């Protein structure tokens, strides 16, 4: 079968489409014939060689797929060969066949296409968990989202109205991406520059924001604290820049503003509490099936197009969610 293989840390020059052996599921696992696979910034971080994202080379990226069940491993119940599913594999999803835990393989309801479903297991599921579990979103909250033009940012924009509504403020790495963020549902979108704190404060009438969703490590943490309203929650869920992570703020500063800073890891949740992740996947699929949620995706024509898309994501030139048509 064909698969995307990253042979060494670096850029697209180390990404190759190779013929590899077809994998078979072990106990509690499922093999999926992949129709579509989602692209995520975590693949770019692994490609760069960021610490903690890959332990060895060559590396096989890809953490969300849609397709049909090819084979089930020992002990798997509730799934059968031929079922349409989405799955969150540990990796190696950018391939014609992927292996995932049965606990993180979810049947597709009628009315949800394989194309849109490929954005669910990591992208949309992460967005709903960031808002509900980690961020404790309440209707009417003002939410600040960094990297609002990306797939997670657009997913948040689609979900907030369904969770009761609130004001959405986004930040983008380049001024040219602000229009795409507002088009996806943000009330305001600002470039991350020296005037950002003042702009966010002005957009909230000086009150500040109730919830911050921040994939930038601790790069923007001082800003997050500066624009936080009393009782705000700050959720750190990545380190997109790949730089060193600074210490968290002193307890006194958090106590003074009744603030909380928490972390979120899709990978950690998949490993330690897969039922919570699976529940979020099912919730999103139900929203899609009911027509209440839409997430526009950019479809890539095949695995050979993925390295260039990863380049665009790393250069902050990509907008929205990419999925790649693998087969079928």
Within-domain flag for 284: no
Residue 287 lies in a domain: no
Domain count, the chain: 2
Give the model's pLDDT for residue 294: 85
Instruction: Kindly report the CATH number assigned to the domain that includes residue 107.
Output: 3.90.180.10
> Going by C-beta distance under 8 Å and a sequence separation of 6 or more, which residues neighbour residue 89?
32, 62, 63, 64, 65, 98, 99, 100, 104
**Per-residue pLDDT tens digits for 245-302:** 899 999 999 999 999 999 999 999 999 999 999 999 999 999 999 988 988 899 999 9
Across the range 140-167, mean pLDDT stands at 95
Name the residue range of residue 262's domain: 123-266
Q: Is 279 inside a domain boundary?
A: no
Give the CA dihedral 91, 287, 178, 306, nearest 10 degrees.
Answer: 30
What is residue 54's predicted lDDT score, i.e. its pLDDT? Answer: 85
DSSP letter assigned to residue 59: B
Q: What are phi and psi of 62, to 5 degrees?
A: 120, 115
174 and 301 co-located in one domain: no
Domain check: are 136 and 237 in the same one? yes
Q: Read off the pLDDT of residues 172-198 as tens digits, 9 standing for 90 and up.
A: 998 888 999 999 999 999 999 999 999
127 and 201 in a single domain? The answer is yes
Do 110 and 128 reside in the same domain of the chain? no
- Could you tell me the CATH number of the domain that includes residue 240? 3.40.50.720
Q: How far apart are CA 115 and CA 298, in angstroms?
A: 10
For residue 17, being part of any structural domain is answered with yes
In-domain check, residue 280: no
> Is 210 in a helix, a strand, or coil?
strand
**Judgement on whether residues 140 and 245 belong to the same structural domain of the protein:** yes
Give residue 228's pLDDT band: very low, low, confident or very high (50, 70, 90).
very high
Residue 74, pLDDT above cutoff 90 = yes
Domain assignment present for 226: yes
Res. 328: pLDDT tops 70: no
Show which of 222, 247, 266 is a domain's final residue: 266
Which letter does DSSP use for residue 132 in this model?
I
Q: Is position 283 within any domain?
A: no
Q: Let me know if residue 281 belongs to a domain.
A: no
Predicted local distance difference test score (pLDDT) of residue 174? 86
**Residue 157 and residue 253 in one domain:** yes
Q: Which of 222, 251, 266 is the last residue of a domain?
A: 266
The rounded mean pLDDT for the chain is: 95
Residue 292 has a pLDDT of 87
- The mean pLDDT of 297-311, rounded to a whole number, is 96
Question: In this predicted model, what pLDDT tens digit does every residue of 86-135 receive, in sequence order?
Answer: 999 999 999 999 999 999 999 999 999 999 999 999 999 999 999 999 99
pLDDT at 226 over 80: yes
Contacts of 232 (CB under 8 A, 6+ apart): 208, 209, 210, 211, 212, 257, 259, 260
Alpha helices (H) along the chain: 41-48, 114-117, 125-129, 151-159, 178-183, 196-203, 221-226, 251-257, 266-272, 274-289, 306-314
Q: What is the pLDDT of residue 240?
A: 85
């Amino acid at each position: 079968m064909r698969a995307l293989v990253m042979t060494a840390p670096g850029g697209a020059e180390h990404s190759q489409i190779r013929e590899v052996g077809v994998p078979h599921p072990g106990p509690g696992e499922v093999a999926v014939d992949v129709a579509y696979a989602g692209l995520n910034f975590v693949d770019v971080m692994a490609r760069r060689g960021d610490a903690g994202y890959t332990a060895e080379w060559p590396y096989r990226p890809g953490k969300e797929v849609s397709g049909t069940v090819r084979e089930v491993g020992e002990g798997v119940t509730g799934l059968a060969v031929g079922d349409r599913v989405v799955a969150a594999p540990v990796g190696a999803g950018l391939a014609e066949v992927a292996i995932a835990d049965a606990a993180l393989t979810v049947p597709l309801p009628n009315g949800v296409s394989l194309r849109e479903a490929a954005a669910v297991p990591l992208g949309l599921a992460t967005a709903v968990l960031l808002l509900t579990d980690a961020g404790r979103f309440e209707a009417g909250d003002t939410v600040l989202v960094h990297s609002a033009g990306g797939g997670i940012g657009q997913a948040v924009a689609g979900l907030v109205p369904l969770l009761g509504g609130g004001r959405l403020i986004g930040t983008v790495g380049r001024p040219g991406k602000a229009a795409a963020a507002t088009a996806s549902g943000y009330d305001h979108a600002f470039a991350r520059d020296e005037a950002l704190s003042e702009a966010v404060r002005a957009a909230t009438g000086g009150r500040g924001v109730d919830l911050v969703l921040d994939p930038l490590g601790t790069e923007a943490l001082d800003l997050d604290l500066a624009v936080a309203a009393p009782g705000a929650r700050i959720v750190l869920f990545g380190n997109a820049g790949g730089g060193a992570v600074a210490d968290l703020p002193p307890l006194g500063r958090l106590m003074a503003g009744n603030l909380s800073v928490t972390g979120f890891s899709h990978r950690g949740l998949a490993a330690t509490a897969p039922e919570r992740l699976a529940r979020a996947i099912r919730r999103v699929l139900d929203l899609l099936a009911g027509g209440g949620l839409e997430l526009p995706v950019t479809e890539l024509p095949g695995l050979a197009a993925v390295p260039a898309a990863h380049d665009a994501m790393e250069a902050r030139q990509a907008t929205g969610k990419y999925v790649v048509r693998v087969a079928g």
